[in-house]
Amino acid sequence: MTFEAILQQTVDILQSRGRVSYRALQRQFELDDAYLADLKNELLYVYPQVVDDEGRGLVWTRETAEASTPVAVSPIADHASMRAPHAYTPPYLAEKILTSRSALEGERKHVTVLFADIKDSTELIKDLDPEDAQKLLDPAIYMMMEAVHRFEGTVNQVLGDGLMSLFGAPIGHEDHAARACYAALAMQAAMRDYTEEVRRQKGLELRIRVGMHAGHVVVRAIGNDFPMDYSAARQPTHLAARMEQLPAPGSIR
């Protein structure tokens, strides 16, 4: 991935989430310290909205002159807003979807459906306060979404402890199945360090499962906030959901 692509994806993360840690950037893009320093310097120089948060990460601040306080917007924090895909789709993907909307409606497409969830999440958080439970689960959800968006899939639903995503629609790719596989591998790779951190600090075993299946769908309509209405999606969706229940935690099926 080029420096410009990493720069743009980092900006998208900051705009959608409000902040990102340096450690998360290194894990997401496999950056060494020198590359991270270059990325940080470029962001701070080019984007006046970006500020350094005491050496821990970057924060996207409000763009009005009178509001200089950091905006910490968690896409998981407001579960009502998470019902609409536009709430968690990076701007560069949203633009592609809306630009090609008229061509997509009514088109039959072969897609790969991917489900991912946190194994036994209810059991993991049963003794935690709601805020602590959210702090535990949110990083895993972020990693799942970032992996999907990295390979230009779209997250259709956030399901509390997991997500459903599509590859090959509405953004078409002939290699949609390979992209879904790469996204699944990226999720599991990103989770390894976090799983170890949770095990060490809380004594909990936080693992994710991923399942996927390919099939045909027809997109009926895409609204202005691009909720996508797919027909004939029942079989690939159901099979992908069942596949996701089969693998052992930490694996893919």
Write out pLDDT tens, residues 31-42.
999 999 999 988
Sign of CA dihedral 81, 220, 91, 14: positive
Determine the pLDDT at residue 158: 80
Distance CA 240, CA 25 (A): 30
**Residue where the block lists tokens 């579960």:** 79
Q: Report how far Cα 181 is from the mean position of its chain's Cα atoms.
A: 15
Pure H helices in the chain: 3-17, 22-29, 33-46, 91-99, 101-104, 121-125, 130-150, 176-202, 234-245
Please tell me whether residues 145 and 91 are part of one structural domain: yes
> With bands split at pLDDT 50, 70 and 90, how would you rate the model's confidence at 98?
low
- Nearest to 148, CA basis, from 97, 96, 210: 210
Domain span including residue 151 = 81-245
High-pLDDT (> 70) share of the chain, %: 69
Determine the pLDDT at residue 58: 92
Please tell me whether residues 94 and 164 are part of one structural domain: yes
Distance CA 148, CA 180 (A): 7
Determine the pLDDT at residue 82: 44
Determine the pLDDT at residue 101: 57
In a domain, residue 201? The reply is yes
Please tell me whether residues 26 and 127 are part of one structural domain: no
* Residue that terminates a domain, selected from 60, 91, 106: 60
Burial class (CB in 10 A: 0-12, 13-18, 19+), 41: exposed
In a domain, residue 130? The reply is yes
Distance CA 85, CA 175 (A): 23
More confident residue, 66 or 83: 83
Q: Which of 75-84, 124-133, 157-166, 182-191 has the lowest mean pLDDT?
A: 75-84
Contact 190, 28 (CB under 8 A): yes
In a domain, residue 225? The reply is yes
Determine the pLDDT at residue 178: 93
Write out pLDDT tens, residues 135-168.
888 888 888 888 998 888 888 778 778 888 889 8
Distance CA 28, CA 16 (A): 16
In a domain, residue 73? The reply is no
Please tell me whether residues 37 and 108 are part of one structural domain: no
**Mean pLDDT of all residues belonging to the chain:** 75
In a domain, residue 103? The reply is yes
Contact 112, 214 (CB under 8 A): yes
Determine the pLDDT at residue 83: 45
Overall domain count for the chain? 2
Please tell me whether residues 48 and 100 are part of one structural domain: no
In a domain, residue 7? The reply is yes
Residue 12 reports pLDDT greater than 50 = yes
